[in-house]
Amino acid sequence: MKQAMTLITALVVLLACTSLQTPQVLAQDDAQKMIPMRERVQIMQRFWEQKKETVLPMVMREQEIDMWIVRNDEQPEYRQASFKEGPFYTSLVPANFEGMVFSSRHADPLVRGAAVPSLLMFYDTGEKIEYLEPRDFAHITTLVRERDPQIIAIGQTNNEEMLAALAEYSSRTVDSWTLGVRWLSTMVPEQISIYRYVQGVANDIIAEGFSNRVIVPDVTTVEDLNWWFRHKLWELGIEKENQPGPMIQRKLANVEKYKDEDSPEFFRYGQTINGMNPTIRRGDIISIDTDVMLLGLVTDSHQHAYVLEEGETDVPEALKEALRKVNRMQDRFAQEFQYGRTGREIVEAADKLVPEEGIIHSEIAFHPPPMYLRRYSVNGLMFSHGTYVTGMISGGGYKRHKIVKNEHRLHYNTLYAFEPHTWVAVPGWGEGGVELGIGQIAVYTEKGLRYLDRPQAGGQWHVVR
């Protein structure tokens, strides 16, 4: 199995990863290749079939689990509107190539809209992972006694009936949370390769929005830009995890210059926030925090544009150097992703780094990217209306529970929204400096942390003329 995972890692690096030094490409090729909805569902389902073949046996053996029993109601934090299922169940329940969940093997075949399975069982025979569907809790007792597993992973929520069914085997149970986190967070090569495409789509959309195709200095407002991004995603048939969040940073002289049109209160803390609607002026820095939700994969992109002043033909060198410092700091943070460390340990190591001259403050931040999986019951109801997030995180920001925390450990072939925040001193921009955090999706492999489609490498800004 170790050899198999080494091969997977090699394929990941070959198919998906760009070097930490790869320059940005703004050809907008990815955004021109929209995959039809039916194919999107089929691609998502193919991901999970591949994961069942490779990831499921790997993580069960890694965790020394002989049997995993999954209920469709064991994760109350993740219950959705139409069903009570959580992401472990949804991602493991059998479905056809278009995400249609098969009826329960024990359902009456004459009943229209037959029930989907409520109990799933996975048993490691040593040669393969055997899938079983218990009819009910009494059937669990029979199936377990026939197989005599040494360690059984089960959910810990309202599990009295499960423990009673396991009878003398109840003493062999362990919490399934860690196994479930490893199952959900470990990607196969095709997922990571396609994630590069999804991040590329996000980069292309931002590149267009941060250009003169969209922005007219002294005319376009922050809310105009916000709604352009929303409409662009709608035009492309892309779903959204979060609404776009454009904002402005303005040099002190221009805050004074435009104080009658745009309140200086907008820039009291260095940059605007959602709900403020100043006009975009020459000399402004435009920043955005926005997501693309495509093929069950969600990006988390933070990027920046500069609006040229009259007479300028390029971004000022001081701002280019500020962006280079930010990228160098991010690469130093990336080196602290070391196999087996917890999220807390990565943050502690990153906090000890001494920033180079000119950096006012820099802090690491990362979290597992949200994901979702389209599944439908035979009577047409859709599972998983929302996304789920699972894996290692740098700190807070999500509802705190076992499935997302900074005590999870770093493993290969896992993905992160990598978004350190860095403030750099730039003449004319005030004591707080300029905040230029760059957010992007990155994958951790045996080669370290690698960006899937790195934006704004070096000192390369988006430019509005």
Domain residue ranges in the chain: 2-34+188-464, 40-183
The residues, ordered by sequence, that sit 6+ positions from 418 with a Cβ below 8 Å of its Cβ are: 330, 334, 365, 366, 439, 440, 441, 442, 449, 451
Helix axes 37-62, 189-209, angle to 10 degrees: 130
Whether 376 and 346 have beta carbons less than 8 Å apart is answered as: no
Cα(255)–Cα(173) distance, integer angstroms: 63
The number of residues in the chain equals 465
Q: What is the pLDDT of residue 158?
A: 87
Q: What is the CATH number of domain 2-34+188-464?
A: 3.90.230.10
pLDDT at 394: 95
Residue 147 CB burial class (10 angstroms; 0-12, 13-18, ≥19): middle
Give me the residues of the chain with pLDDT under 70, please. 1-28, 75-84, 111-114, 241, 384-385, 397-401
pTM for the structure as a whole: 0.89
Largest CA distance in the chain: 81
β-pair type (462-464, 301-307): parallel
Half-sphere CA count of 71, side-chain side, radius 13 A: 20
pLDDT at 108: 79
- Write the single-letter amino acid at 184: L
> Would you say 31 and 116 are in contact if contact means Cβ atoms under 8 Å apart?
no
Helix, strand, coil percentages (3-state) for the chain, rounded to 5, are: 35, 20, 45
